[in-house]
Structure 1
């Protein structure tokens, strides 16, 4: 039942995933603050909302800025609090620490939280124990950041792999569309370039998802998921091959007639079967880590047309490169590495 829930299609929506992470983060943070009996639990909850981002990279970055800024501000607040204990005026004491922190925040915007912490610790200090507020503030930030990190790593942390393969399938579909439009000559080169830009955008999403997956575990991605680690590089090469092929087809200036030699036909049955297999394989990996029987992939590769040495030399060359990289991608996706997870 839990596996069906985790593989539900609606979990592919980034808004839904982030909503779940945020709700879990705030709820867990509230539970921890009750256990620790913080006097100002609201700051921990606010921190969890700010720090919990849609990716591990963003969460780590936001948490680091929150923590560093708070520590600087808490340390700086000791000076005005001590001066006020010796009967210094509030605003004069506050200004001695505020001005340097304002300069620091202007120079390093990532430290702006230090100014906020200074204001909270100094202007809203506890009368009976003025040093308690900086300590409370640091503890609140530590709880908020720690809970956010935990939630980001644990809740839906495998989604990056699914995103990578779903975007890989979208990239291959756009490659097929480029080849189709070039084959029928229904688009000119500028329109083909627009299609290529869309495929490049999908490819960037694949790369981003793979980088996110690298941060999800301590083990190197190349050891626990070699298929995913190699996916962007091979897919990028395939996308570049397709662009070169479309350019060569358009330069030929003629629509290939029915029965054209498969070796130079970008829409030959063997190639279309290979592209379709890759799309289906990526979509299956986008749902769950499944593995694949290699004999099926071997049959797909056998169906790819061979270069028989006939036809235009340029087309034979670029189509040969495309077929080679297609075989490389098929071999990668056919590798059953489910036991390495």
Structure 2
């Protein structure tokens, strides 16, 4: 059950959400370093700032780079520290480990933190216990990464689902715009392709948000939210269908006129009603996962023209494919409520 404050409109602002995550991460990390009496708490706090990103995917990636780089740097620092204990010059000892790590960082940029750790552990080593600093550094990074992961999973982590449906609504609007411009012959094929590129970009955002949602919980997305899991696939098919329809419309020899056969009209009232229903349904999912039943979806599907209606052969075929995939998406968003109507 969600508290009312968690559904406040201002929490939809990504800047506000990330600010809250960052503040919680730094505050929690500071508290953990205090109760554990960590000797170098600053590095843990710095790590929490670097690792805490706006998405779980980015946080996991940043945390992995920080952790792997630190472990490599800490392990590499053992050699120069040992050499200095045997009275080797500082810079010669440092160079022996630095050169290989510099090559590794150039080859694998994600390991750059290893160079930083090596510098800290070697150039600022503690005289009494030189091996303590690498260990402290690793503990600080582990603490910062661990806290950042926890905060990213716990604090405001449902944003990905809202992002997916928000971008899904945008994608459908762009599909409708493509069909409208092609129907009215107000754009040529190159301009239509630009609109299609925009819809593809929105669709990629849907896919990214769904991938993010997969990482928000341990349970598979297909089991806890099958509608969200299938959303990119259904949208992708609809987007490809719309592109084919717009191409067929532009290649048609006759200009589209009002009152034509609905089976071959990409702007028929029934089709527009179906698109509007999908947009409204997606936008409702942005606000909340709960709400009224969607039995109206059955009426939307029933109102669509039959695929066997008379019409120009090519347009009839491509429009039939579009309607089929449109029905599939409506049924998905209606959570099979059409079967109960």
**Fold agreement, TM-score > 0.5:** yes
Partner of 1:117: 117
Partner of 1:131: 131
**Deviation at residue 294 of structure 1 after TM alignment:** 4.5
- Corresponding residue for 1:207? 207
Indicate the residue corresponding to 2:264 in structure 1: 264
Contact 1:162/1:286 (<8 A) preserved: yes
Please tell me whether residue 59 in structure 1 is matched to residue 92 in structure 2.
Answer: no
Does 2:139 correspond to 1:155?
no
Against the structure 1 CA distance between its residues 4 and 173, is the aligned structure 2 distance closer, same or farther, given a 3 Å change threshold? farther
Contact 1:281 1:333 in 2 (8 A): yes
CA distances 1:213-232 after superposition (whole Å, capped 9, x unpaired): 11111111111110001100
Structure 2 residues without counterparts, runs of 5 or longer = none
| Bigger mean CA deviation after superposition, 53-62 or 321-330 | 53-62
Q: Does residue 68 of structure 1 match 2:68?
A: yes
Task: Give CA deviations for 1:54-106 in whole Å, capped at 9, x if unaligned.
Answer: 22122111111111111111122122222222322222222222222222222
Is contact 1:291–1:334 with CA below 8 Å preserved after alignment? no
Report the CA distance shift for 1:254/1:8 in structure 2 as closer, same or farther (over 3 A).
Answer: farther
TM-aligned CA distance change 1:322 to 1:291, over 3 Å: farther
SS at match of 1:267: coil
5 Å matches for 1:26-37? 26-37=26-37
Question: Please, what TM-score do these two structures have when normalized by structure 1?
Answer: 0.94
Give runs of ≥4 in structure 1 deviating > 6 Å.
Answer: none
The residue number in structure 2 matching 1:226 is: 226
Equivalenced residue count is 337
| Structure 1 unmatched runs, 5+ | none
Kindly state the Cα deviation for residue 292 of structure 1 after the two structures are TM-superposed. 5.2
CA distance in 2 between counterparts of 1:336 and 1:225 reads 13
Deviation (angstroms), 1:112: 1.4
1:236 aligns with 2:236: yes
Task: Tell me which moved more, 282-291 or 162-171.
Answer: 282-291
Q: How far 1:150 sits from its partner (Å)?
A: 0.7
Superposition RMSD in Å: 1.8
CA–CA separation in structure 1 for the residues paired with 2:182 and 2:8? 37
Once the two structures are overlaid, the 10-residue window that deviates more, 120-129 or 168-177, is 120-129
Q: Report the counterpart of residue 16 of structure 2 in structure 1.
A: 16
Question: What's the CA shift string for 1:7-63, capped at 9, x where partnerless?
Answer: 333333333222222121111111111111122211111111111122212211111
- The 8 Å contact of residues 39 and 136 in structure 1, kept in 2 or not, is answered as yes
Partner of 2:252: 252
Aligned equivalent of 2:175: 175
CA offsets 1:142-163 (integer angstroms, 9 cap, x no match): 0110011111111111110110
Give the distance between the partners of 1:228 and 1:90, measured in 2 at CA: 57
Q: Provide the C-alpha distance between the structure 2 equivalents of 1:106 and 1:257, rounded to a whole number of angstroms.
A: 62
- Could you give the per-residue CA deviations for residues 227-286 of structure 1, whole angstroms, max 9, x where no partner exists? 001100010000111111111111124433222121111111111111111000000111
Q: TM-score w.r.t. structure 2 length?
A: 0.94
Aligned counterpart, 1:140: 140
Give the direction of change, closer, same or farther, for the CA distance of 1:98–1:56 in structure 2 (3 Å limit). Answer: same
2-structure distance, mates of 1:150, 1:322: 44
Rounded to whole Å, the distance in 2 between the matches of 1:46 and 1:289 is: 36
